[in-house]
Amino acid sequence: MPPEQASGRQTEIHELSAVRLRNALRAGDLSAREATAHFLGRIEQQNPLLGAFVTVTGERALADAAAADALYVRAKKGTFDAGTSGALPLLHGVPLAFKDLTDVAGVVTTHGSTALDHKPAPADGALPAALKAAGVISLGKTQVPEFGLTAYSENRVAPPSRNPYSPARSSGGSSGGSAAAVAAGLLPFAPGTDGGGSIRIPAAACGLVGLKPGRGVVAAGESSGDPARLVVAGPLARSAEDAALMMDALVPSPETHSPATRSQGAHSNGGAGFLDAVTREPPQLRIGVTLDSPWAAAFPFQTEPEALAALKTGTDLLEHAGHVVTEAAVRYDNRYPDAFTTAWTAGVGSARISPHREALLTPLTRTFRRRAQQRSTAKLNEALAFLRQFEHDTVTQYANWDLMLMPSLAQTPRPVGWFTGAAHGGAAWPATEWPNDADGDYRRQCEFAPWSSMVNVCGLPAISIPVYWTGGAPGMGLPMGIQLVGPAGSELLLLQVAAQLGF
């Protein structure tokens, strides 16, 4: 059973960090069936309010947990200590769930769309396959926007994903269901995918640590329908240590993926895994703080006082930790919004959707699908070439500092239905009631999260850290975060800084 807290009260399973839960499972203090049943109970109790899960695979999860417990018994009879490495995988018996954009064998993948046939997937996608090999127990599929296109997780398939700290507000997107589930204690942590902010946006909205690794670091998160190579998988977690544990399952060694990491002593961990090295003090860093955004010319936005307060809190924490934070002016090419939008929506243009079902798409998806189909291959190639130059120019400017600092979001988490232009308090959007304001929707998203997508274009790692709460204390009011962007190979460094700041 879980250990007692200092007060003498028995710690609930969902109150354990992912690291402590994993350790309890590997030591035999807790069975996989106990952990799985506990989280399934949490989901049954809270998901009707939160809408974090689209599909719950309870029976399958309990069967997988029983198999994990049988593996533990076999390991216990072996010649090694089952609490260490040996035959037990890294995440033995740990429950989690996958976004409903990712295939899990035998489970329907809706992609958040009623325009698709909802059939069980024949095999696991790369990300579930990798994490299942690490020993996880999948509890189901979490809510996403249609085809993962938006910064909020609302669709016509299932109720919208809501923020655990204020259910009238969104949990963000596109990993919004996963973030809500972790923040509410329905999961210990969860994998997300990020092509334009889809890990960092919901992490900031839900008060989590969200790490977007750099391009090519987590091969399991890449997508064939992503011509600009924007999408990468990474962890949504309640702490840097928990995020480091998931990174150990996704990347065998933080030093094997980047020559730059090995050549810079500041980013090296001496060959240890992410979890082993995450609590080591990082070196003193030069950090450039900026509010500049490549979206500012096309969509002038206001940074809300809460976002500025989070930035001030983050700056103070970093300076107190010994880092030097200075103003940084970054120049972005004004052609960026059109080029990014062209690359970002290319995949939905080629999605296999029957013509007679296109009317079932949300207005935003339908609008951008039509535009993508009307766009020439030459226009797409031109946009991709521009983004490569944008990457070079931006990375060159960022190189003047060790890390870049900015708010995670320009605004507090938005009300459910706000992006589409209509408040929404019901369960799922009926097709006849979804507002038809695709361009206004997209503009509001870019104004909400103006510092996210350019990090994907540049292929750099970035982390959102929940440094501020509008109510004055953690868990009170709404969470607000800061984003730190690092050079290639700095995933461990970003986690170390988050841990150093107490997250």
Active site residues: 99, 174, 198
Asked whether 380 and 225 are in contact (CB, 8 A), the reply is: no
Q: How far apart are CA 152 and CA 237, in angstroms?
A: 19
Phi-psi sector, 147: left (phi>0), alpha (psi -120 to 50), beta: left
* Rounded (10°) angle between helices 491-500 and 240-250: 160
Helix, strand and coil percent figures for the chain, each rounded to 5: 40, 15, 45
Count how many Cα atoms sit within 13 Å of the Cα of residue 296 in the half-sphere of its side chain: 13
Nearest residue to 288 via CA among 332, 343, 325: 325
Identify whether the C-beta of residue 96 lies closer than 8 Å to the C-beta of residue 112. no
DSSP helix/strand/coil, 191? strand
Helix (H) or strand (E) holding 210: strand 209-212
DSSP alpha helices (H): ranges in 150-226?
A: 176-183, 200-206
In angstroms, the Cα distances linking 95 to 22, 138, 163, 195, 276 are 10, 6, 21, 25, 22
Nearest-10 crossing angle of helices 176-183, 32-50? 110
- Is the dihedral angle over the CA atoms 161, 362, 381, 383 positive or is it negative? negative
Beta-bridge mates of residue 170? 162
Name 105's bridge partners. 121
Q: Which residue has the tokens 């059109």?
A: 338
Task: Please tell me what DSSP assigns to residue 134.
Answer: T
Radius of gyration of the chain (CA): 22
Residue found under tokens 């609302």? 154
